[in-house]
Amino acid sequence: MTRRKFLGTTLASGATLVAGGSSIIFTTNSLAVATKAESNSVFRLGGDLPVNRLGFGAMRITGEGIWGWPADRGNALKVLRRAVELGVNLIDTADAYGPETSELLIAEALHPYPKDLVIATKGGLTRPGPGQWVPNGRPEYLTQCVEKSLKRLRVERIDLYQLHRVDPKVPMEESLGAIKKMQEAGKIRHVGLSEVSPEDIDRARKVLPIVSTQNQYNISNRRWENTLVYCEKEGLGFMPWSPIGGNRGLKDNALEAAARDYQASVVQLALAWLLRRSPVMLPIPGTSSIAHLEENMAAAKLKLTAEDWKRVDALTS
Ligand SMILES: NC(=O)c1ccc[n+]([C@@H]2O[C@H](COP(=O)([O-])OP(=O)(O)OC[C@H]3O[C@@H](n4cnc5c(N)ncnc54)[C@H](OP(=O)(O)O)[C@@H]3O)[C@@H](O)[C@H]2O)c1
| Mean pLDDT on 30-46 | 65
d(CA 32, CA 223): 30
How many angstroms separate the Cα of 263 from the Cα of each of 14, 32, 213, 268?
13, 9, 32, 10
| Average pLDDT over every residue of 217-221 | 96
* Catalytic pick among 97, 113, 161, 262: 97
| pLDDT 10s digits, 118-143 | 999 999 999 999 999 999 999 999 99
pLDDT band at 39 (very low <50, low <70, confident <90, very high): low
Residue 97 annotated to the active site: yes
Whether the pLDDT of residue 9 is over 80: the answer is no
CB 264 within 8 A of CB 3: no
Contact 173, 127 (CB under 8 A): no
Q: What does the angle CA 218 – CA 118 – CA 194 come to, to the nearest 5 degrees?
A: 40
> Domains along the chain?
46-312 (3.20.20.100)
Counts for the chain of helices (H) and strands (E), in that order: 11, 14
**How, if at all, do strands 16-19 and 22-26 pair?**
antiparallel
Report the DSSP pairing between strands 237-241 and 158-163: unpaired
Q: Which of 119, 126, 227, 244 to mutate to test the pocket of ligand 1 (most atoms within 8 A of CB)?
A: 244
Cα of first residue to Cα of last residue in the chain, in angstroms, is: 31
In ligand 1, the atom with minimum distance to the C-alpha of 241 is 10
Supply the residue whose CA is at minimum distance from atom 7 of ligand 1: 241
Helix 266-277 and helix 290-297: axis angle, to 10°?
40
pLDDT per residue as tens digits for the range 75-104: 999 999 999 999 999 999 999 999 999 999
